[in-house]
């Protein structure tokens, strides 16, 4: 971690400022990811961010867009999302047809950062438009209008996915993956996660320490059939319930335990971990 990133972790109360003085979404760096993002931007390389749910991927991209003073356009991908949804389509109105840019085309024209969240969910035809943009051609062909747009240097393509619950069929094709620089994020180190809970969840240092200890214990559990484990997001929500006056044990049960499973035995085992770490009361 370089000294600039260290500052984000060790001084969470200090406002972070984007170029031009606007405040930017606060992000506690885990390692060298901010520098890697900046290098990708400078070299016009697209970035693929992998990581479990609630580990800070979206916040990281929001932070970097503000830091680089670029507009951010985010698309949450779903299984119906097609190339036309990204590129644009002809709309019919008042007797004539007009072309409407989709978010990808807008981002290319504006030199924005385009963030495709959960990209493996999107329909396969989207790769047809992403490939020429994601390699050294950096062009967007719009088949329906015959236009070919060259991306300006400021345009950056960022995609993310959660490798945890993808089935094999849904994984990205090698020809897509190999166009991107890859960055793996995970849940932050305890000191960083405590700083996040203090800042985002308004936790006292004691509550933050207890919640991080709980997360560590839950993340070590392997003999239960959990799809995902306790995320930083869940800890932030638990911290906020505590900040608003709910006893710690109840906050953990509502924000963490019940969010992780529906299975009776698993819930009992998770609750046992909570009792062991935070005790019976608050």
Ligand X SMILES: Nc1ncnc2c1ncn2[C@@H]1O[C@H](COP(=O)(O)OP(=O)(O)OP(=O)(O)O)[C@@H](O)[C@H]1O
> What residue ranges bind ligand X (CB under 6 A)?
26-28, 51, 53-59, 162, 188, 196, 200, 232-233, 236
Nearer to ligand X, 28 or 134 (CB): 28
- Separation of alpha carbons 173 and 168, rounded Å: 10
- To ligand X, the closest distance from the beta carbon of 234 in angstroms equals 9
Residue 279's φ and ψ, nearest 5 degrees, are 85, -175
Q: Which of Mg ion, ligand X, none binds 236 (CB below 5-8 Å, type-dependent)?
A: ligand X
> What does 198 interact with, of Mg ion, ligand X, none (CB < 5 to 8 A by kind)?
none
Q: Are strands 96-101 and 88-93 parallel, antiparallel or unpaired?
A: antiparallel
Give the nearest distance from C-beta 25 to ligand X in angstroms.
8
Torsion angle in degrees (nearest 10) through CA of 215, 220, 224, 229: 40
Least distance (Å) between residue 271 CB and ligand X: 23
By beta-carbon proximity to ligand X, the closer residue of 53 and 266 is 53
Window 37-66: residues binding Mg ion (CB under 5 A): 58
Cβ atoms of residues 224 and 269 within 8 Å: yes
What values do phi and psi take at 136, rounded to 5? -70, -5
* Binding-site partner at residue 28 among Mg ion, ligand X, none, CB < 5 to 8 Å by type: ligand X
What 165-169 contacts at long range (C-beta under 8 Å, 24+ apart), as own/partner pairs, is 165/227, 165/228, 166/120
DSSP strand pairing (47-50 vs 181-184): parallel
Residue placing its CB nearer to ligand X in the complex, 142 or 183:
183
Instruction: Decide if residue 231 touches Mg ion (CB under 5 A).
Output: no
- Name the minimum Å distance from CB 117 to Mg ion: 5
Residue 33 CB, shortest distance to ligand X, in Å, is 9
Give the one entry of Mg ion, ligand X, none that residue 56 binds, where binding means its C-beta sits below a cut-off of 5 to 8 angstroms depending on kind. Answer: ligand X
Smallest gap from Cβ 106 to Mg ion, in A, equals 20
Spatial separation of the C-alpha atoms in residues 101 and 85, rounded to whole Å = 9
Question: Which position's Cβ is nearest ligand X?
Answer: 56
Stretch (H or E) spanning 184: strand 181-184
- Residue in the shown chain whose Cβ atom is closest to Mg ion: 58
Q: Which helix (H) or strand (E) holds 199?
A: helix 190-200
- Cβ distance to ligand X smaller for residue 44 or 74: 74
Q: Is 136 exposed, middle or buried (0-12, 13-18, 19+ CB in 10 A)?
A: exposed
Q: 59-91 burial by CB neighbour count: b if 16+ within 10 A, else e? A: bbbbbbbbbbebebbbbebeeebebbbbbbeee
Site for Mg ion in 234-273 (CB under 5 A): none
CB 135 within 8 A of CB 91: no
Confirm or reject binding of residue 229 to Mg ion (CB under 5 A): no
In whole angstroms, how close is the CB of 54 to Mg ion at the nearest point?
A: 8
For ligand X, which is the closer residue by CB, 44 or 53? 53
Is 33 or 210 the residue whose CB approaches Mg ion more closely? 33
162 binding Mg ion? (CB under 5 A): no
Looking at the Cβ atoms of 58 and 232, the one nearer to Mg ion is 58
Give contact residues for Mg ion (rule: CB under 5 A): 58
């Amino acid at each position: 971690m370089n000294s600039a990133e260290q500052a984000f972790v060790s001084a969470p109360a200090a406002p972070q400022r984007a170029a031009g003085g606007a405040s930017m979404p606060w992000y506690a760096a885990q390692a060298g990811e901010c520098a890697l993002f900046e290098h990708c931007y400078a070299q016009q390389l697209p970035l693929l961010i992998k990581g479990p749910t609630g580990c800070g991927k979206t916040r990281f991209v929001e932070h970097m867009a503000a830091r680089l003073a670029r507009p951010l356009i985010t698309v949450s991908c779903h299984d119906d999302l097609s190339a036309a949804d990204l590129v644009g389509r002809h709309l019919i109105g008042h007797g004539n047809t007009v072309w409407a840019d989709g978010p990808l085309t807008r981002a290319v024209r504006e030199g924005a950062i385009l963030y495709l969240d959960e990209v493996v969910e999107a329909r396969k035809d989207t790769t047809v438009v992403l490939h020429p943009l994601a390699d050294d051609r950096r062009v967007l062909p719009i088949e329906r209008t015959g236009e070919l747009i060259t991306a300006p240097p400021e345009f950056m393509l960022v995609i993310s996915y959660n490798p945890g619950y993808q089935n094999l069929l849904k994984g990205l094709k090698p020809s897509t993956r190999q166009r991107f620089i890859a960055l793996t994020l995970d849940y932050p180190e305890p000191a960083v996660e405590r700083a996040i809970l203090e800042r985002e969840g308004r936790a006292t240092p004691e509550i933050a320490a207890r919640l991080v200890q709980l997360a560590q214990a839950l993340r070590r559990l392997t003999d239960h059939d959990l799809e995902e484990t306790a995320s930083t997001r869940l800890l932030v929500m638990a911290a906020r319930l505590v900040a608003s006056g709910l006893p710690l044990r109840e906050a953990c049960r509502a924000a963490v335990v019940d969010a992780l499973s529906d299975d009776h035995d698993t819930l009992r085992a998770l609750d046992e971990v909570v009792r062991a770490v935070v005790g019976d009361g608050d």
